[in-house]
């Protein structure tokens, strides 16, 4: 009879040495010790996610990276391992963002404590034990070698996010913009929405001048991650935030004040959808020799779109700033900018600026034209495009 420690060692070996994966799973599932193997899988998954939580990862991050690099089943197992680890912690010591993130991905304890979680998971999802163990090893393969991340600070005091009444006003304004048959009217109404949100941010800055900076991670979907990251960065910069891209992992970290971070999420979500739709509507491209140029066209399209959107947002923000007559505003914004910069440098002291090259002029011009037609939409959707 194998010992628990021996089985956990085998599972980690299978996760980190891909050629050994199938043989280890076959060895363990034919050993006649299903309960021991399932218990070991539960244990090692929880240990691995607990280590990640100590190294700057948050529950939603664990879910998204597993979904990106494995599949939905592995992501579900990873999320439930996080839920089990979180359930063991005293409520008073728990990051308040974690429970919301777990609920967001549907990872909440449902299993009974009298049997291994993996065994119950296999029954619940119609998987054989061999399949379930393979899913668990797939999750471990993603999670066991992830790097440490900077720990994102908790927002100080009560959360200062966007007021729901303000969101209702903006949604009503944008509903009118999206329903009008006149592009000029839609453009004016959409730009007005950005100005409205900027003014709201300024008002909150005056009401809460001592609010400190915060940070969030924004996950993106393939393809064209670098170009999409440029769009989110443009939105962040226009709204007094700093952003850094983790392209290999698939997310951006954005540093700013809570209200501004809300605005970035709302705007970037809408603009990424619009950019993708406009890019697809522009169609594919083939070079003179019959070789596809679609990828370079779309890459250039999105980069140009991001550049022009950044210009438009800064113009709207400048207009909103000019309309606020309070003499206290500029000093408060300057101090907030210094706070954001200081927090950014403390979290990312070695970050390097990156430039992008464009090899498709047609895509660049098409992207800029599409950005001129974009609606500066603000709808509360999650950033995952």
pLDDT in tens, 344-384: 999 999 876 655 554 455 555 555 565 565 655 444 444 44
**What local confidence, expressed as pLDDT, does residue 183 receive?**
45
Average pLDDT over residues 31-59: 96
**What local confidence, expressed as pLDDT, does residue 156 receive?**
59
More confident residue, 150 or 298: 150
**What local confidence, expressed as pLDDT, does residue 380 receive?**
42
Average pLDDT over residues 151-172: 68
**Per-residue pLDDT band at 292 (split at 50, 70, 90):** low
**What local confidence, expressed as pLDDT, does residue 272 receive?**
83
Highest mean pLDDT among 124-133, 217-226, 260-269, 326-335: 124-133
State yes or no: pLDDT of 39 exceeds 90. yes
**What local confidence, expressed as pLDDT, does residue 203 receive?**
72
**Per-residue pLDDT band at 336 (split at 50, 70, 90):** confident
**What local confidence, expressed as pLDDT, does residue 207 receive?**
65
Can you tell me the distance from the alpha carbon of 56 to that of 48, in angstroms, rounded to the nearest whole number?
A: 13
Lowest mean pLDDT among 139-143, 189-193, 252-256: 189-193
Residue ranges of the domains in the chain? Answer: 4-143, 164-373
As a whole number, the mean pLDDT across the chain is 82
In sequence order, the β-bridge partners of residue 9 are: none
Average pLDDT over residues 287-294: 58
Per-residue pLDDT tens over the stretch 56-113: 999 999 999 999 999 999 999 999 999 999 998 888 778 888 989 999 999 999 999 8
């Amino acid at each position: 009879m194998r010992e628990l420690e021996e089985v956990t060692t085998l599972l980690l070996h299978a996760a980190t040495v891909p050629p050994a994966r199938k043989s280890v799973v076959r060895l363990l599932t034919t050993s006649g010790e299903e309960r021991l193997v399932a218990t070991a899988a539960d244990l090692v998954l929880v240990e691995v996610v607990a280590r990640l939580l100590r190294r700057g990862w948050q529950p939603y991050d664990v879910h998204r990276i597993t979904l990106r690099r494995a599949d939905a089943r592995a992501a579900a197992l990873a999320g439930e391992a996080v839920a089990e680890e979180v359930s063991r912690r005293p409520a008073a010591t728990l990051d308040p963002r974690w429970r919301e993130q777990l609920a967001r991905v549907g990872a909440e304890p449902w299993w009974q404590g009298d049997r291994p979680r993996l065994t119950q998971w296999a029954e619940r999802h119609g998987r054989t034990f061999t399949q379930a163990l393979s899913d668990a090893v797939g999750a471990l393969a993603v999670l066991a070698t992830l790097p440490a991340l900077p720990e994102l600070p908790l927002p100080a005091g009560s959360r200062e996010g966007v007021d729901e009444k303000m969101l209702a006003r903006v949604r009503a304004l944008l509903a009118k913009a999206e329903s009008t048959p006149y592009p000029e009217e839609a453009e004016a109404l959409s730009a007005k929405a950005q100005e409205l949100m900027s003014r709201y941010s300024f008002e909150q800055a005056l009401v809460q001048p001592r609010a400190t900076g915060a940070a969030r991670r924004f996950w993106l979907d393939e393809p064209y991650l670098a170009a999409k990251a440029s769009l989110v960065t443009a939105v962040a910069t226009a709204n007094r935030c700093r952003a850094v891209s983790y392209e290999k992992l698939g997310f951006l970290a954005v540093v700013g004040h809570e209200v501004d971070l809300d605005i970035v999420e709302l705007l970037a979500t809408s603009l990424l959808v619009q950019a993708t739709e406009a890019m697809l509507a522009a169609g594919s491209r083939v070079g003179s020799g019959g070789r596809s140029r679609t990828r370079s066209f779309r890459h250039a399209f999105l980069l140009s779109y991001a550049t022009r959107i950044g210009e438009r947002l800064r113009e709207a923000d400048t207009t909103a700033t000019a309309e606020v007559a309070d003499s206290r505003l500029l000093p408060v914004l300057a101090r907030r900018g210094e706070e954001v910069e200081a927090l950014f440098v403390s979290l990312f002291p070695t970050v390097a600026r990156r430039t992008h090259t464009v090899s498709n002029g047609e895509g660049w011009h098409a992207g800029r034209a599409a950005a001129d037609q974009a609606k500066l939409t603000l709808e509360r959707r999650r950033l995952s495009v």
